[in-house]
Amino acid sequence: MRVLLAPGPLWPEPGGTPLVGAVPGLAAPAVAQALAVGWHEARPADELTLLPLGDGGPGSAATLPANLVEDRLWLRAADPLGRAQEVSLLRLRAPGPAGAGLPVGPGLPVHRYGGAQAPVWFLDAASLTALPADRSLAGRHARQGSSRGLGELLLQALEQAGSGATLVVGLTRTALHDGGAGLLEALGGLPQAREHLRRCHVVLALGDELPLGGLSGAGASLPQVTDLDQAQAQELDRRCGALARALCRQQDQQPGRLLPVAGQRPQPLSATSWGTGAAGGAALALRLAGASAAPGAQVLGRLCGLGAAVENQDLCLAATGSLYTLGSSPTTVLLGQLAQQQALPLVLVAGRCRVPRTELAEGGVVSVYELESLPGLQPPVPWERLGTGVLEQRLQQLGGRLARSWSR
């Protein structure tokens, strides 16, 4: 039997976003490996394909298959509080004939050198602005943090990538909330930022799709992830919104330079536009400077050739952390869509799942196994409180159970 193990990471809330310093949780490659160990012990003759999926969040570079990585560089830049940190920049090999093409999102052009595909790079920028697990430290990121280091990191990556290349930049939710002001300062302002970004085709792989402002925006969610109270968050969001409005007034409304969401006409960018809250508004600033944007799971899925990997399988296996709506796990949604196209069953492993069966079925998920409620596994505690070693052990045990239940 041929089985595709394409799990996302298992990170605790909020929103599945990796928390810097958090003890629990597993990255996608570790999830895939643990499930594979258990499955192989139960059914050693089965053919397993491991393809862990990133979503643009911290550590997404580690999910890319080794045979796709031509070179790995380490760039040094300052985090939101000015502390030096190393960030990985990968040069990727061109996809083969069976690959899914460049990860530029629906409707975006494929850049080529003559008849050859342009170089593709991936910058794990989300790791520089990652959300701290400590709420007081996250509060410092919100009150004092700057995206200047992110701008300096981007300048280094653009220099390494060279003219005409495609640079994929991973970004996601963060406690930082400066509206991209520091980033634009590092780039020399919005007009100069446009000049820098003209050198490459910059694609933002967004691991979080919150807008910058509004009732459901990144600013409104700050009290959930920091020690800011509602009044402090509202004042910070007010200042950030004022900056965003000023930046939007500066932009030239050029067709094709805005995010083309599939099936919709491009709309002028604002603080309430899709995905503008990533990295505290840096996503909005970069899109105003000419970057394209797409859901991170789709981008990483196309980079690693997920579409081709699904073909000729007998079963697909996804994994995620806490699931309350199917849409909150973009890696599961993507794999479900591809599995449905091939008429394949998709089994989901989740730390916790509260999604109705009808919604799961519509997304292609035929069965769910919850880590915190597996029979015979004690103690029955929330999965987020399990240590890394216990999580790996439960995943291995579950891998064996899945093999015995689904293998034929």
The CATH number of residue 35's host domain is 3.40.50.10350
- Which pLDDT score is estimated for 359? 96
| Model pLDDT for residues 207-231, shown as the tens digit of each residue | 988 999 998 899 999 998 899 999 9
Domain C-terminal end among 251, 283, 299: 299
Q: Are residues 35 and 181 in the same domain?
A: no
What's the total number of domains in the chain? 2
Identity of the residue numbered 301: G
- pLDDT at position 19 over 80: no
Residue 375: phi and psi, rounded to 5, are -65, 140
Domain C-terminal end among 299, 314, 337: 299
- Which pLDDT score is estimated for 175? 95
Give the position of tokens 């944007």.
293
Give the position of tokens 């029979």.
375
Contacts of 251-256 with CB under 8 Å at 24 or more apart are 251/190, 251/288
Tell me if 91 sits within 8 A of 19, measured CB to CB: no
Query: Binning pLDDT at 50, 70 and 90, where does residue 122 land?
Result: very high
- Which pLDDT score is estimated for 251? 74
Domain that holds residue 219: 60-299
- pLDDT at position 350 over 90: yes
- Which pLDDT score is estimated for 114? 38
SS3 85: strand
Please state the separation of Cα 258 from the chain's center in Å: 20
Q: Are residues 328 and 248 in the same domain?
A: no
Q: Are residues 35 and 147 in the same domain?
A: no
Q: Rounded distance, CA 112 to CA 110, Å?
A: 6
Scanning 271-376, the segments in alpha helix (DSSP H) are 282-288, 296-303, 306-310, 330-341, 357-362
144-158 average pLDDT score: 98
| Model pLDDT for residues 285-294, shown as the tens digit of each residue | 999 999 999 9
Q: Are residues 172 and 74 in the same domain?
A: yes
Lowest mean pLDDT among 174-183, 379-388, 389-398: 379-388
Tell me the CA distances in angstroms from 264 to 100, 106, 259, one per residue in order. 23, 11, 10
Q: Are residues 132 and 197 in the same domain?
A: yes
Q: Are residues 79 and 219 in the same domain?
A: yes
Lowest mean pLDDT among 23-37, 67-81, 258-272: 258-272
Residue 131: phi and psi, rounded to 5, are -75, 120
pTM confidence score: 0.89
368-381 average pLDDT score: 79
Q: Are residues 234 and 87 in the same domain?
A: yes
Identity of the residue numbered 247: L
6-20 average pLDDT score: 79
Give the position of tokens 């008429």.
343
- pLDDT at position 333 over 90: yes
What end-to-end distance do the CA atoms of the chain give, in Å? 7
Tell me if 158 sits within 8 A of 193, measured CB to CB: no
- Which pLDDT score is estimated for 15? 60
Lowest mean pLDDT among 34-43, 108-117, 226-235, 364-373: 108-117
Domain C-terminal end among 275, 299, 323: 299
Q: Are residues 206 and 85 in the same domain?
A: yes
- pLDDT at position 261 over 70: no
Q: Are residues 237 and 350 in the same domain?
A: no
Q: Are residues 211 and 314 in the same domain?
A: no
Q: Are residues 80 and 156 in the same domain?
A: yes
Residue positions counted in the chain: 408
Task: Give the H or E element holding residue 235.
Answer: helix 230-250
Tell me if 334 sits within 8 A of 304, measured CB to CB: no
Q: Are residues 224 and 368 in the same domain?
A: no
Q: Rounded distance, CA 90 to CA 121, Å?
A: 5
The CATH number of residue 269's host domain is 3.90.1510.10
- pLDDT at position 118 over 80: no
- Which pLDDT score is estimated for 258? 45
Tell me the CA distances in angstroms from 397 to 37, 317, 334, 365, 374, one per residue in order. 9, 15, 26, 21, 10
- Which pLDDT score is estimated for 131? 92
- pLDDT at position 155 over 60: yes
